[in-house]
Structure 1
Amino acid sequence: MRELVYYAAVTLDGYIAGPNGEFDAFLIEGDHMEGINARFADTLPTVAATALGIPQKRELFDTVLMGWNTYQVGGVPSPYAHLRQIVFSRSRTAEGENLEVTSEDPIAVVRRLKTEEGAAIWLCGGGALAATLADEIDRLVLKRQPLLFGSGIPLFGERPYRPEQFDAVETVAYDSGVVFTELERRREG
């Protein structure tokens, strides 16, 4: 069965973007970029990977999920054209290569995707969508940035108090101050 992986950059105080969706303070240069480009090439926007000569083989991810606000940040119709892109919106539409906008329940979509053949499913964001899909997330890959935002869009939006355990798989610290932490959901029994 395919996994749902929430792969996101996050500040030390738990934000994936500023109050108005700002993300330009995140470090995009430094020794951590080599790790992203090597292992997580599928998470680079298609145009950027092409410009950098980085092959995207769809081996790690072949599908990306986004809320509307995350999708529209890039300002291009198909930011991850090399992947199947599913954008959740109740009121908006868009067209682009390998792009689907749906008002369908995200949980139902993820459960259906998990039964299909393929690579892992990347939950790109945002925080409200992550909160909705929290019970479906199998793995977290967090790029913890050496930044404080003070306020903004949290890694997980509003959800009821219910502690859930994840186990550490790997942690890699870079000289840039960025720390990659990979965790998997603890399965009881």
Structure 2
Amino acid sequence: MRKLVYYVASTLDGFIAAPDGSPDFLRLDADVAAHLAANWSQTLPTFTHPQFGIDEPAGRFDALVMGRATYDPALKIGVTSPYAHLKQYVFSRTLPPAAEPEVEIVSTDPVEFVRELKRRPGRDIWLCGGGQLAGQLLPEVDELIIKLNPYVIGSGIPLADRGFDPRRFDLVGTRPFDSGVVILHYARPTEVG
């Protein structure tokens, strides 16, 4: 079965964006950018591939899910398919159907939709953001990969916006960078018994 992987940048205090939804305060230092281009090129917007020297993005994903607030910045700059190299599912109850074949607007329950999507044949699914969608989908997340940035911002969009509901993940890998960013890779614990 396909896995749902929440791959996201976060601050030390657990925020993925400023209160207005902007992640602009998070720098992309050269060491991290090189690593992302080499190892996570699918998670870079298609229109940025030339500046990273990416001809054909490689990786484990063939689809992504995102919330409306995560999709909006691309729309504001006139990009209607920010990850054209992937099938994109955007959760919104207000957006009209997308004109691009690789973008599908989904107005149904995210949990049920993702459960069904995980059962379909294909590669893994990237949970791109945002915090509200991640909060709803947290029980379905199989892996959590956090690009932990050396910032404390005090408030903003939380990593997973949901009520108190502790979920344990096991640490399976770390990758520190000279710039202070650490990529933390967690997996849902294997159920025993």
- Under a length normalisation based on structure 2, what TM-score does the superposition of the two structures give? 0.92
Residues 1:79 and 2:82 are matched in the alignment: yes
Quick one: structure 1 residues 34 and 73, their matched pair in 2 at CA, closer, same or farther if it must change by over 3 Å? same
Aligned equivalents of 2:25 and 2:42: distance in 1?
A: 22
Residues 1:128 and 2:116 are matched in the alignment: no
The CA deviation string for residues 19-77 of structure 1, in whole angstroms up to 9 with x for no partner, is: 00111111112211121111110000001013432134454111011100100112310
Aligned equivalents of 1:44 and 1:51: distance in 2?
A: 11
Could you tell me which residue of structure 1 aligns to residue 152 of structure 2?
148
Aligned equivalents of 2:175 and 2:52: distance in 1?
A: 23
Quick one: structure 1 residues 77 and 148, their matched pair in 2 at CA, closer, same or farther if it must change by over 3 Å? same
Aligned equivalents of 1:113 and 1:78: distance in 2?
A: 20
Q: Give the SS at the match of 2:115.
A: helix
Residues 1:183 and 2:177 are matched in the alignment: no
Aligned equivalents of 1:153 and 1:83: distance in 2?
A: 25
Structure 2: gaps spanning 5 or more residues: none
1:99-114 correspondence to structure 2 within 5 Å? 99-114=103-118
Structure 1: gaps spanning 5 or more residues: none
- Please identify, of 95-104 and 173-182, the stretch whose mean Cα deviation from structure 2 is larger: 95-104
Alpha-carbon contact 1:58-1:83 (below 8 Å) kept: no
1:1-189 correspondence to structure 2 within 5 Å? 1-57=1-57, 59-75=59-75, 76-93=79-96, 94-159=98-163, 161-189=164-192
Identical residues among aligned pairs (%): 45
Counting matched residue pairs gives 188
Q: Give the SS at the match of 1:95.
A: coil
| Counterpart residue type for residue 61 of structure 2 | F
Aligned equivalents of 1:99 and 1:58: distance in 2?
A: 19
* Displacement over 4 Å in runs of 4+: none
Alpha-carbon contact 2:39-2:59 (below 8 Å) kept: no
- Please identify, of 107-116 and 138-147, the stretch whose mean Cα deviation from structure 2 is larger: 107-116
- Under a length normalisation based on structure 1, what TM-score does the superposition of the two structures give? 0.94
Aligned equivalents of 1:112 and 1:80: distance in 2?
A: 22
Aligned equivalents of 2:166 and 2:131: distance in 1?
A: 17
Aligned equivalents of 1:155 and 1:56: distance in 2?
A: 29
Alpha-carbon contact 1:21-1:152 (below 8 Å) kept: yes
The CA deviation string for residues 118-165 of structure 1, in whole angstroms up to 9 with x for no partner, is: 111000000000000010000000000111221110001022x23221
